[in-house]
Structure 1
Amino acid sequence: MRQQVVFLITPSNGLCKRCSSAWTGKALTSQEDKDKYVKTLPTQLKPFEIQLSQSPRGGAFIVGDQISFVDYNLLDLLLIHLTLAPHCLEDFPLLSAYVAGLSSRPRIRKYLDSPRHTSLPINCNGKQ
């Protein structure tokens, strides 16, 4: 899981080339690339679902029993994926609940609803 954690920090740092393709490190340049990437997402998301199933607070946080830097970055990455592929978490109930739970925290919700967040591009050229 080390590779995923390393790439989790890239969307928050504004490295757009990795925003839509966090696990491959490549920008998605065509619909065909995006379709291929989305098709591989279940394989990439499964380790996170497993990790949540083993977390001390029943999947509330990815590691430990309180929110951490990793949670903020994983949430950011998952929200990007949900924007690009809205059904990508359908087969992952713990990840879906994780996103819902973290997104509903008052300060996170306030940020997610703010123009500072909603105006951020994905994939360097908007949300697509």
Structure 2
Amino acid sequence: MLPIHMVLVDDDDVSDFEVLYRACRNKAYIIAYKILKNESLAEECVSEVFFSVAKNFKKVNNLTSYEKQKYVVISVRNRAFNILSKEKNNNSNVPYEDDIYFNDKDYYEFSYDQWVCCIRKLNKTDRDILYLV
């Protein structure tokens, strides 16, 4: 992820950003993981924070080394709590069950020719999806 963030930083500050990134990324990941208890969410959190730091690196670079690390840690903690609250509020994690959506009686009411006719009416993308299933 470092090369993506480096594009946002001025050429003069690239080495300073790289030092900050290498010094803080593991600690930031550990903090995010302790809060989120999910590897991918923790990685996403750390990436978002360093993206934000890279966009505002002119301001962040004026801080002392300790203040920079403190800034990253606090940002990761806050971002992790924001992600956690969004995950808790997200009610779209409904388990998918085939028997809810598939009614055998309706399936057998169609003949083979009717199915072919319906499938031919679909656009190419939708037909390809059915082919993959």
TM-score range relative to shorter protein: under 0.3
Larger radius of gyration: 2
